[in-house]
Structure 1
Amino acid sequence: MVYFQRVSDTKFRATDHASGAWNEAEQHVAPALGLMAHVLERDRDRRRDDDLRIAGLHYDILGPVPVGEVEVVSRVLRPGRTIELVEVELSYGSRAVVLLRGWLLAQFDTGQLQGTELSEIPSPEDLEPWDVSGVWPGGLIRSIEGRRRVLAEGRSQAWIRTPHALVADESVSDVARFIGLFDVANGIAVRADPREAFFPNVELSTQLFRSPEGEWVGYDTTVSFGPDGRGVTHSIVHDRNGPVGLVTQGLTVRPQR
């Protein structure tokens, strides 16, 4: 009931629960992105005690990775007292598979300034149960519970959660757990049957203005396809208290027939 098991200080073994939706011999990248955020936070906490917060993350997905052992290494690119830029690399064998650059920001009391005009979405209890595996295969998809309402083609609101731990026998923050489900957004509001079109994302970016809490991850998602093979999945991400930030995914769109 876990996505990864730690092998050493920098190496992790993916379980079958992390297998992907496009190819079950490959990892779904969602848990891997959460793992990288977890490694980033653990490295931060080893280096300093002021708990800089994750503000923005950008992941470049360089290629598929088999379900197996990966190495994850974190390094500081831009050190600072109140702002840091950190890079995390996930590799399989000697090949880099995912690169992450993340901005960490110091905490300041902005309680009197907080606010957003982003719309809330219905609670999980107000949406119909959704069998995600009815559309997508893979161990990750089978491991999650979903609730969804479809608003239009390529437009949906949904909540998902998983009972599986991201890393066996390790404390993982709500932020890293949330990020470990962000890549699922690309399958929430599909514009095309995945048997007829191939539309994986080549990158994912997220910006958070509040730290998420709880087990349910909410999405207000819109998918757009252009005329020449490019697409974008855009999601406002929620916890039960409201919006927490956004996720965008750049897609390569390719007809399969």
Structure 2
Amino acid sequence: MAMYSRTGEGRYRASEHTQGPWDPGSQHMGPVTALIVHELARTAPRPGLQLSRLVVDVFAPVPVAELRIETGVARDGKRVQCLSASVSSGGREFARASAWRIREAGTPATPAGKPPAPVPPPSQEHARSWLTSGFGYGRALDWRFVTGSPLAPGPATVWGRVGVPLVEGEEITPLERLAVFADSGNGISLAIDFATHLFVNVDLTISLFRSPETEWICMESATVLGPAGRGLTRSTLYDENGEVGTATQTLFVAPREP
């Protein structure tokens, strides 16, 4: 079963593989972000322009239901192009995104830091964690911790691989694989007890200096919490060939209601 099945032009039915950890009736924003990337790839494509920045603002939890993705061109140019996207269901808008494409050109590359550690083998610790039990998105990915732990708070470096198709009958792209995974930084580097508090992101910003190319994506993530109900997660993103960019999430933090 794929995360989504197409029901019409720009319309998709979400499956249980999109379920997030906070409510079984709401989607994790990873699949939603990847679906936005999927639709943006079909919007005014031009050879030589590559998606380099994506910002998603989340207005409310996205339901596990039929979604409508509307896209457009906010600015069209020879060297850069700005796109927009809106995610709605049942006539209500749940998320809005903007994306920049930048023209490819030959430029001298600078060193991007140390390469990521190799993908480690699976462990029983992963199997016992909240990531792989209780919600569809967690079970749909293969998680491999390099540093940190899925059983304890703190920074973490984690490899992830999507185990199911994004859209039924369509091949998932490396950029979509990254988008599925990049919204998990606050979960893998949780700074407060998952059982007692919510730490939900209200946005996601992905910035890339090169396009991902491989099946496995790695995140090196850390979360900091402030004293007034806000937090920030910062993640460095890698593919198997090295660093590709960053992701940031602004967090709403609150005690769980009894």
TM range (shorter): over 0.9
- Separation in 2 of the partners of 1:55 and 1:74? 17
Shift of 1:194: 1.1
Residue identity matched to 1:120: P
Aligned partner of 1:52 among 49, 53, 72: 49
Matching of residues 1-257 of structure 1 within 5 Å: 1-45=1-45, 48=46, 50-110=47-107, 113-125=108-120, 130-131=125-126, 134-136=129-131, 137-148=134-145, 149-150=147-148, 153-256=153-256
CA contact under 8 A between 2:165 and 2:171: conserved in structure 1?
A: no
Q: CA RMSD in A?
A: 1.8
CA-CA distance at 1:66 after TM superposition? 1.5
Does the C-alpha gap of structure 1 residues 216 and 133 become closer, same or farther in structure 2, counting only changes over 3 Å? farther
Alpha-carbon shift at residue 182 of structure 1 (Å): 1.1
Distance apart, 1:123 and its partner CA: 1.3
The number of residue pairs the alignment matches comes to 252
In 2, Cα distance between equivalents of 1:133 and 1:73: 39
Q: Deviations over 1:187-225 (max 9, x none)?
A: 111111211111000000010011111211101111100
Identity across matched positions, percent? 30
**Which segment is superposed worse, 219-228 or 164-173?**
164-173
Cα separation, 2, equivalents of 1:194 and 1:185: 14
Q: Deviations over 1:82-128 (max 9, x none)?
A: 11110011111111111110001111012xx1123433331112785
Q: Do the aligned partners of residues 248 and 132 (structure 1) sit closer, same or farther apart at CA in structure 2, a change above 3 Å counting?
A: farther
Alpha-carbon distance in 2 for matches of 1:130, 1:74: 41
- Kept in 2, the 8 Å contact 1:133–1:142? The answer is no
Aligned residues of 2:186 and 2:222 also touching (Cα < 8 A): no
What residue identity is the alignment partner of 2:115?
E
The one-letter amino acid paired with 1:165 is P
Task: Kindly state the Cα deviation for residue 76 of structure 1 after the two structures are TM-superposed.
Answer: 0.4
Change (3 A) 1:126 1:163: closer
SS in 1 for 2:106: coil
Alpha-carbon distance in 2 for matches of 1:141, 1:133: 12
Deviates more, 1:244-253 or 1:183-192: 183-192
Kindly indicate whether the alpha-carbon contact (under 8 Å) linking 2:68 and 2:87 is maintained by their aligned counterparts in 1. Answer: yes
- Could you tell me how far apart the structure 2 residues matched to 1:116 and 1:23 are? 42
Gap change, CA 1:14 and 1:51, over 3 Å in 2: farther
Give the superposition deviation at 1:170.
1.8
For residues 55 and 207 of structure 1, the distance between their equivalents in structure 2, rounded to whole angstroms, comes to 6
Distance 1:218 1:3 in 2: 21
Deviates more, 1:134-143 or 1:197-206: 134-143
Q: Could you tell me the TM-score, scaled by structure 1's length?
A: 0.92
- The whole-number CA distance in structure 1 between the counterparts of 2:79 and 2:231 is 35
Query: Aligned partners of 2:63, 2:153: CA distance in 1, in Å?
Result: 32
Shift of 1:129: 6.2
Question: Which consecutive residues of structure 1, in runs of 5 or more, have no partner in the other structure?
Answer: none
Tell me: CA distance 1:175–1:30, structure 2 relative to 1, closer, same or farther (3 Å).
same
Distance 1:54 1:128 in 2: 34
Distance 2:254 2:128 in 1: 22
Q: Which residue identity does 1:61 align to in structure 2?
A: V
